[in-house]
């Protein structure tokens, strides 16, 4: 055996897709199974636990799409018709008297016997109160038929749907006051590093303010998670052990910092003792040293500490993981191809996510893309993806992921 053979080769970087695939598989292996029944007012941001089936037709009866007059086409040969009733939304009509029309308003039930509604703009009311129809009329016009939107018994939403304002509105149209949802994912957030100080306290020598904690706690709450804020963990093995041991039951331990190769990166050491740890080297920039492991059976995701690395790896990898644990099918953010408003001449070995904004129809990038610069993200509207080895030029199409896709 020669000395050369014993030199450890650097491991190839793991592609982003592979990391995501592995995380999603791990999420599927540990689904949140408990559910709870919540009023609509408390269900926003939660995930539907059971398929939602329509218990009625929508609309429940044919109704008028216009303010105007309802009539039976067979009764009309071009002559004016007398008005036999007025039908308002929310009130039951009488069957239409043959040879007459009914005054009707938008959303009101179309009376039995009528098969056509004409908007009032196309009518003339004569001195004797009869109504002349000016335009040609067609059967079914301006009538929204019963069950046009949904038929009783149809599946309207699948289990795994995230409930936003639109989904809650849809549940309300079907008369649901409560929904069965997956219980919240409980996430413990810990920030590691002796240098960290909470905002509001004075900075000592070598110290910086803890930004990752606030960013992650706020973001997790937006995603509908229950957060256990475990505060700052100093760079000390005994304290790291004690903190992990005292977390109680959570579904995920989410840490920042302490996952690289530095001598003060103790989280990894503590996890190795009481669980397992995979230090990934991802082909992603920022965010290369993402860590996945288990501590006494509880999954742990260790995000790199640099604030932009935390942001990118949370948004692109941890968010999908958390959603998938709640059974969400589509966890991928939408991305849009946009013309680049920049040149990227140097091909990289990692996929780069540059903090960018759209201006004049082009993607502009923030001038300082260092992974320590959170200001880049506050300036930006989203992330532009530059693939490994690619060198986009101004005008080339590049994928842009708006932050709005990641933050909710």
Interface residues with ligand LQZAQKY5 (CB under 6 A)?
191-193, 195-196, 208, 210-213, 256-262, 265, 286, 288-289, 304-307, 309, 371-372
Q: In terms of CB distance, is 46 or 288 closer to ligand LQZAQKY5?
A: 288
31, 164, 169, 262: which one binds Mg ion (CB under 5 A):
262
Give, for 222, the enclosing helix (H) or strand (E). Answer: helix 212-222
327 touches which of ligand MOO, Mg ion, ligand LQZAQKY5, none (CB within 5 to 8 A by kind)?
Answer: none
The site that binds Mg ion (CB under 5 A) totals a number of residues, namely: 3
Residue 260 binds Mg ion (CB under 5 A): yes
Smaller CB separation from ligand MOO, 160 or 302: 302
Question: Smallest distance from the beta carbon of 290 to ligand LQZAQKY5, in angstroms?
Answer: 9
* Residue 4, contacted partner among ligand MOO, Mg ion, ligand LQZAQKY5, none, CB below 5-8 A by kind: none
341 binds, among Mg ion, ligand LQZAQKY5, ligand MOO, none (CB under 5 to 8 A by kind): none
Name the residue among 101, 94, 93 with its Cα closest to residue 75.
101
Binding site for ligand MOO (CB under 6 A): 285-288, 304, 306, 309, 371
CB atoms near residue 347 (< 10 Å): 11
80 binds, among Mg ion, ligand LQZAQKY5, ligand MOO, none (CB under 5 to 8 A by kind): none
Q: Parallel, antiparallel, or unpaired: how do β-strands 351-359 and 382-386 relate?
A: antiparallel
Q: Are 264 and 221 in contact (CB under 8 A)?
A: no
Alpha carbons within 13 A on the beta-carbon side of 377:
24
3-state secondary structure of 394: coil
Nearest residue relative to ligand LQZAQKY5 (C-beta):
305
Task: Choose the contact partner of 62 out of ligand LQZAQKY5, ligand MOO, Mg ion, none; CB within 5 to 8 A by kind.
Answer: none
Q: Are 101 and 89 contacting, i.e. CB atoms less than 8 angstroms apart?
A: no
Token look-up 């938008």 returns 106
What sign has the CA pseudo-torsion 354, 390, 19, 184? positive
Nearer to ligand LQZAQKY5 by C-beta: 63 or 210? Answer: 210
Residue with smaller CB distance to ligand LQZAQKY5, 68 or 289: 289
Identify the CA nearest to 390 among candidates 336, 355, 342, 332. Answer: 342
Shortest Cβ distance from residue 366 to ligand MOO (Å)?
Answer: 15
Tokens (6 digits) for 338: 């946009």
Q: Which residues contact 230 (CB under 8 A, 6 or more apart)?
A: 188, 189, 190, 243, 247
**Nearest Cα to Cα of residue 113 among 82, 73, 68:** 73
Look up tokens 């196309």; give the residue.
122
CA-based nearest residue to 182, from 50, 299, 52: 50
Q: In whole angstroms, what is the distance from residue 271 CA to residue 274 CA?
A: 5
Residue 186 beta carbon to ligand MOO: minimum distance, rounded to whole angstroms: 27
Instruction: Rank residues 75 and 352 by Cβ distance to ligand LQZAQKY5 and give the closer one.
Output: 352
Which single residue is written with the structure tokens 């795994």? Answer: 160
Hey, which residues between 69 and 128 contact Mg ion (CB under 5 A)? none
CB closer to ligand MOO out of 43 and 308: 308
Q: What is the contact surface with Mg ion in residues (CB under 5 A)?
A: 260, 262, 265
């Amino acid at each position: 055996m020669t000395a050369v053979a014993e030199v450890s080769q650097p491991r190839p970087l793991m592609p982003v897709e592979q990391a995501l695939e592995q995380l999603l598989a791990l999420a599927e292996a540990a689904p949140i199974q408990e559910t709870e029944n919540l009023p609509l007012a408390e269900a926003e941001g939660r995930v539907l636990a059971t398929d939602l089936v329509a218990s009625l037709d929508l609309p429940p009866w044919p109704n008028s799409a216009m303010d105007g007059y309802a009539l039976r086409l067979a009764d009309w040969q071009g002559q004016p018709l007398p008005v036999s009733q007025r039908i308002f939304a929310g009130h039951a009509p009488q069957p239409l008297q043959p040879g007459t029309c009914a005054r009707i308003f938008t959303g009101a039930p179309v009376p039995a016997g009528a098969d056509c509604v004409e908007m009032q703009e196309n009518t003339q009311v004569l001195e004797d109160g009869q109504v002349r129809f000016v335009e040609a009329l067609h059967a079914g016009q301006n009538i929204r038929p019963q069950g046009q939107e949904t038929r009783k018994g149809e599946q309207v939403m699948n289990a795994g749907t995230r409930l936003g304002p639109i989904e809650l509105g849809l549940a309300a149209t079907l008369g649901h006051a409560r929904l069965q949802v997956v219980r919240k994912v409980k996430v413990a957030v810990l920030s590691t590093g002796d240098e960290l100080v909470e905002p509001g306290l004075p900075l000592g020598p070598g110290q910086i303010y803890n930004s990752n904690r606030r960013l992650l706690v706020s973001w997790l709450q937006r995603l509908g998670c229950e957060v256990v804020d475990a505060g700052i963990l100093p760079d000390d093995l005994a304290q790291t052990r004690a903190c992990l041991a005292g977390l109680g039951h959570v579904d995920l331990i989410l840490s920042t910092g302490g996952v690289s190769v530095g001598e003060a990166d103790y989280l990894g050491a503590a996890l190795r003792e009481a669980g397992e740890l995979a230090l990934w080297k991802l082909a992603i920039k920022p965010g290369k040293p993402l860590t996945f492991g288990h501590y006494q059976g509880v999954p742990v995701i260790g995000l790199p500490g640099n604030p932009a690395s935390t942001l990118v790896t949370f948004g692109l990898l941890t968010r999908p993981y958390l959603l998938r644990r709640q059974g969400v099918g589509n966890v991928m953010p939408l991305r849009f191809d946009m013309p680049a408003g920049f040149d990227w001449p140097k091909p990289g070995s990692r996929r780069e996510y540059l903090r960018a904004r759209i201006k004049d129809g082009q993607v502009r990038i923030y001038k300082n893309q260092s992974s320590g610069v959170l200001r880049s993200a506050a300036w930006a509207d989203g992330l532009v993806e530059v693939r490994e080895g690619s060198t986009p030029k101004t005008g080339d199409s590049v994928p842009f992921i708006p932050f709005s896709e990641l933050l909710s």
